[in-house]
Amino acid sequence: MRPEGRGETESLYFRYPHFDPPEAREVLSAAVPVAIVGAGPIGMTAALTLAKEGVRSVLFDAKSTFNDGSRAICIARQSFNILERLGAVGPFLEKALPWTTGRSFYRGQQILEFEMPDSPREKFRPMYNLQQQYIEDFLWRAVEAEPLIETRWQSEVVGVRDVDGGVRLSVKDPLGTYEIEAAWVLAADGARSPIRKMRGLRLKGENYEGRYVIADVQMAHDYPTIRRALFDPDCRRGGTILVHKQPDNIWRIDYQLREGESEAEAIREETVRASVAAVLGELGYEGAWELEWWSIYSANTLALDDYRDGRIFFIGDSAHIVPIFGVRGLNNGLADAHNMGWKLGWVLTGRADERLLESYTPERRGATLDVFANASKSARFMTPPTSGWELMRDAALNLALEHPFAGELANPRQMTPYTYADSPIAGPKGDGRGPIPGAALPGARVEGGYLQDRLGAGFTLLTCDAGLAGLADVMLYVEVLGVGSEAAEVLGLGTQGAVLVRPDLHIAARWERAVPEDITAALALSTGRARA
Amino acid sequence: MTPLDVEAVYEALAETLDAVGDEKQRMFLAKLALLLARDLGDTALVRQRIGEAAKHLEA
Ligand SMILES: Cc1cc2nc3c(=O)[nH]c(=O)nc-3n(C[C@H](O)[C@H](O)[C@H](O)COP(=O)(O)OP(=O)(O)OC[C@H]3O[C@@H](n4cnc5c(N)ncnc54)[C@H](O)[C@@H]3O)c2cc1C
C-alpha cells in the first residue's frame, strides 16, 4: 500500500516499467520445451538457469510490471553465488548494501551484537540488502538480453491440462485467449499460486500468531547497515521491531501487532504514520521522513507435500511459505529455481536422465523443512506463542542485560546453506574429511581469485591429482588444485583425493583416493543415469 | 552442600521471592533457572531436574 494520492507503483525512488502484451500473435501457440508461469524473481531465475543450459523457455506473467513494493530485501551469500553463475550479479553488487552485523536491544539497551559467518575466503558477504523491485529489475536485464527466453507480459495462465508428453496451458491476455503446449511447466506463480489451485493441491503446515506491519520510509538516517531488533521497546511494549537499511535512503521497519489489534486499523495510513513516528522516536531519529510503502505479513510455515505434479514443478512461494524472520522466502526460492533449472536443462539437452528430476522434491523440500525448523525457533522468540515460551523469552532478554550468554538466545542464526545429505543423487562420502556430499561448496582463495571462479559450467572435478586431468570431457571440467593450498585444505583434499561439484555448487561426491571408474559412476548417479 | 547450606539457599530464595513480589516471581525464577543451569554446565542433568521439578505439582 502507498500513501493517499499515490498509485500502486508510484514510488519515491523507483520507476516501474510498463510492459505490453505480445504483439506477434500468429506464433503464440507454437509448442515450447518449458513454460514458466510467473515472472517474479523465482520464475526469472529459473528461465536464466535453463538458458545457461541451452534450453528455451517462455515466461508468462499476468502483470504489466514488476511486483509492487520492496517485499523481500535480504539476499544471502548463497543467492549471490547463484546470481554470479547466471552472469547477473554485476548490478546487484553495485547497488546492494552488504552487511554482517546484527544488534538486539531489550527495553532500549543493547543485549547482543552478532556477526554472521564471514572470512576472507568468501567472495561474497553473508547478506546484502536490496529492495525486491531492484532484484526483479536486475534479473529482468539479464532475461531481456537472453535470446533463449521469451517473456509474455499481461499474460495470465487460466487453465492447465495434461496431454500426452506435456501440458496444455490456456493463456489470456488483453488481445485474446490462446492455448500453448509445453513439455514441462514450472509454476513460479507465487504464494497464492493459481496453478496449485487448478491442480487441487494444498500447502500444509502451521500459521503462527505474530502479524507484522512492514513499512518503508525514506530518511537521511545516519546508521550503518546493521540489522536491529528491538524487543519490548517503549513505543510498542511487549512487541518486537526490526529495522533494516536499504539503498536510496530507504529504511525497512517491521513492527509486530499486538494481540487483538485489528488489521484493518493497523494498515490505515494514519495508524502506520503514527506507529512509524513512534519507532523513529525510539531510534532517536528526529529529522524529516517520507512514507514510501507498507504491507502486512504473518508468519507461516507451509509447504506442498510434493513439489512435483506430473510434468509441473512448483518453485518458490508457490511451493512453500516461510516466515520473514529467517529471511529465507526469496533465498529459498532462488535455490529452488537454480536446482530445478540445471536438472531440467540437463534432461532436455540429453545429458541427464529424466529420473534426475526425482531428486528435486527431496532436496528442495528438505531445505524448506530445515528453514521451517529454524524459522519456527526465531518465530517463537520474536512472537512467543504461549505463556511458557513468553516467560522464558522475557527471562532470557532480562537476564541478557547483565549476562551476554542469555542474549545469544536472540541470535537469529540466519542462513547457512542447506546440505542435501539424504539426496538420492549424493555419491560416495570418502573418509568424512571436509564437506560431505550434498553440502554447499565452501569458499577459498585460489591464486588471487576464488574457488568458485575455477569451476566449469557443468560438473567440476576438484583434485590435487594432476593425473586425473585427462578425465575432462563435455560433461566434466577438471580443475587441479595445489597440494596443501587453501582450497585443498578447506575441501579436505589430500594428494589423491577429489571432490565432484554439481552445476549448482553443491558437492556431489568425494574420495580420498579417486579413480576414474568411480568418478564416472558418481557422475552417472548425479545425472540420474544410474541409481544409488 | 551441607543441610545448613541448603537451608541458607532456601531462606534466601524465600526472602527474594517476597521482595520481588507476586507479579515478578515467575520471571525471577525463570531467570534463576537459566543462570543456574549454565553454572551446572550439564544439559542432561538439567533436563533430568526439569523433569523432576515438574512432578507431583498436583500433590
Ligand atoms: C507484501 C509482501 C511482503 C513480503 N515481505 C518479505 C520480506 O520482508 N522478506 C522476505 O524474505 N520475503 C518477503 N515476501 C516474500 C517474497 O516477496 C517472496 O518470497 C518472493 O517474491 C517469491 O518470489 P516468487 O517469484 O516465488 O513469487 P512472486 O514474487 O509472488 O511472483 C509470482 C508471479 O507470478 C505471477 N502470476 C501469478 N499467477 C499467475 C498466472 N495465473 N499467470 C501468470 N502469472 C501469474 C504474478 O503476477 C507474480 O509476478 C513478501 C511478500 C509479500 C507479498
Q: Which amino acid is at A446?
A: V
Judged by a CB distance cut-off of 8 A, whether residue B50 touches chain A is no
A389 touching chain B per CB within 8 A? no
| Domain final position from A317, A334, A354 | A354
Distances (CA, A) of A213 to A210, A265, A295: 10, 11, 6
pLDDT for the residue numbered A383: 81
How many angstroms is it from A192 CA to the middle of ligand 1? 9
The answer to whether the Cβ–Cβ distance between A395 and B38 falls below 8 Å is no
For ligand 1, atom 10, name the residue with the nearest CA.
A72
Decide if A401 touches B, using CB distance below 8 A: no
Chain A residue numbers with beta carbons less than 8 Å from the beta carbon of B50 are: none
How many whole angstroms separate alpha carbon A351 and alpha carbon A32? 19
Q: Which residues of chain A, if any, have pLDDT below 70?
A: 209, 325-326, 414-415
Q: A191 C-alpha vs ligand 1 centroid, how far in Å? A: 6
Residue A510 lies in a domain: yes
Closest Cα to atom 51, ligand 1: which residue? Answer: A71
Residues A335 and A456 in one domain: no
Same structural domain for residues A35 and A183?
yes
Instruction: List the single residue in A with minimal CA-CA distance to B29.
Output: A395
A404 touches chain B (CB under 8 A): no
**Does A482 share its domain with A338?**
no
Ligand 1 pocket: which of A185, A189, A198, A244 to mutate (most atoms <8 Å of CB)? A189
The predicted structure's pLDDT at residue A207: 74
Q: Is there a single domain that holds both residue A338 and residue A473? A: no
Distance A180 CA to ligand 1 centre (A): 24
d(CA A488, CA A494): 7
- The answer to whether residue A197 sits within a structural domain is yes
Residues of A whose CB is below 8 A from B31: 395, 398-399
User: Mind listing the pLDDT tens digit for each residue in B19-59?
Assistant: 999 999 999 999 999 999 999 999 999 999 999 999 999 88
Domain boundary among the residues A326, A354, A382 is at A354
- For the CA atoms of A414, A417, A422, A426, the dihedral, rounded to the nearest 10 degrees, stands at 180
In a domain, A9, yes or no: no
Burial A233-263 (b: 16+ CB within 10 A, else e): bebbeebbbbbbbbbebbbbbbbbbeeeeee
> Whole-angstrom Cα distance, residue A406 to residue B32?
12
Q: Residue A414: its pLDDT value, please?
A: 64
Q: Contacts of residue B30 in chain A, CB cutoff 8 Å?
A: 391-392, 394-395
Ligand 1 site, residue A297, Cβ cutoff 6 A: yes
Same domain? A73 vs A198: yes
With CB atoms and an 8 Å threshold, state whether B27 touches A406.
no
Cβ contact (<8 Å) for B26 and A391?
yes
CA distance A378 to chain B (A): 19
On whether both A187 and A313 belong to a single domain, the answer is: yes
Ligand 1 atom closest to the Cα of residue A171 is 42
- CATH code, domain carrying A80: 3.50.50.60
Angle between helices A41-52 and A132-144 (to 10 degrees): 30
Set of cell numbers at residue A171: 493463456
| A375 Cβ closer than 6 Å to some ligand 1 atom | no
Q: Examine the domain organization and report whether A339 and A462 are in the same domain.
A: no
What is the predicted pLDDT for the residue at A415?
63
Euclidean distance between CA atoms A104 and A378, whole angstroms: 13
Mutate to test the pocket of ligand 1, among A68, A154, A330, A378 (most ligand atoms within 8 A of CB): A330
A254 lines ligand 1 (CB under 6 A): no
Indicate the DSSP class of residue A357. Answer: G
- A398 in B contact zone (CB under 8 Å): yes
pLDDT at residue B34, as a whole number: 96
Whether residue A323 is contained in a domain is answered as yes
Q: Does A238 touch chain B (CB under 8 A)?
A: no
Q: What confidence score (pLDDT) does residue A325 get?
A: 66
pLDDT in tens, A95-154: 999 999 999 999 889 999 999 989 999 999 999 999 999 999 999 999 999 999 999 999
Q: How many domains does chain A have?
A: 2
Nearest-angstrom CA–CA distance, A40 and A60: 10
Is the CB of A173 within 6 Å of ligand 1? no
Query: For residue A8, what pLDDT is reported?
Result: 86
User: What DSSP designation does B23 have?
Assistant: G
Q: Which atom of ligand 1 is nearest to the CA of A254?
A: 8
Closest by Cα among A8, A17, A43, A11 to A314 = A43
Strands A101-106 and A109-115: antiparallel
Is A469 inside a domain boundary? yes
Q: Do B27 and A391 lie within an 8 Å CB cutoff?
A: yes
- The alpha carbon of residue A39 is apart from the nearest alpha carbon of chain B, in Å, by 49
* Protein residue with its CA nearest to atom 53 in ligand 1: A71
* Cβ pair A165, A181 in contact under 8 A: no
Is residue A405 one of the residues assigned to a domain? Answer: no
Whether B34 and A391 lie within 8 Å, measured CB to CB: no
Does A403 contact chain B (CB < 8 Å)? yes
Q: How far apart (Å, rounded) are the C-alpha atoms in residues A263 and A389?
A: 24
Per the CB < 8 A criterion, the answer to whether A256 and A297 are in contact is no
Is residue A112 in some structural domain? no
Query: How many whole angstroms from its chain centre is CA A508?
Result: 21
Place of cell 505434479: A309
Cα–Cα distance, A454 to A166 (Å, whole number): 38
Query: A310 is in which domain, residue-wise?
Result: 25-95+131-202+302-354
- Candidate from B27, B33, B38 with C-beta closest to A398: B27
Hey, are the CB atoms on A399 and B38 less than 8 Å from each other?
no
Pairs of CB atoms within 8 A across A/B: 21
Does the residue A401 lie in any domain? no
